[in-house]
Amino acid sequence: MGLKSGYGIWRGLENDSYIGEWDESKAHGYGVHTWKNGDRYEGEWHHCTKHGAGTDLFVNGDSYTGEYSSGKPQGKGQYTWSNGATYIGLFEAGMKHG
């Protein structure tokens, strides 16, 4: 009773926010989370954890697009640094792999 479910918007006290799908008051499904420092993740969530396909956009200009598991890049993805350098390949537990 009183748990968020469906689509909704949450705004924190320090300018962080989440817009997207909820299940049992947890980000679950597709959503966009913006942290107070300006970093943003757009993609799939599984009970408040990045899981599935998504994109991280970092304030420093770096970005990652690809697969996530348990909150970390896992599987196929592309990391692009602000200077234009790019790695396209596999990730395991958040690290380049292969």
Domain that includes residue 40, residue range = 6-97
| 75 located within any domain | yes
Q: Is the confidence at residue 25, as pLDDT, over 70? A: yes
User: What value does the mean pLDDT take over residues 42-47?
Assistant: 97
| 32 located within any domain | yes
| 1 located within any domain | no
| 12 located within any domain | yes
Confidence of residue 63 (pLDDT cuts 50, 70, 90): very high
Name residues whose C-beta falls within 8 Å of residue 51's C-beta, 6 or more positions apart in sequence.
44, 45, 68, 69, 70, 71
Measured CA to CA, the distance from residue 6 to residue 35 in angstroms comes to 21
Q: Tens digit of pLDDT for each residue in 66-94?
A: 999 999 999 999 999 999 999 999 999 99
| 24 located within any domain | yes
Measured CA to CA, the distance from residue 50 to residue 59 in angstroms comes to 18
Q: How many domains, the chain?
A: 1
User: What value does the mean pLDDT take over residues 28-45?
Assistant: 97
Q: Is the confidence at residue 27, as pLDDT, over 70? A: yes
| 93 located within any domain | yes
Mind giving me the DSSP string for 50-63? EEEEEEEE-TTS-E
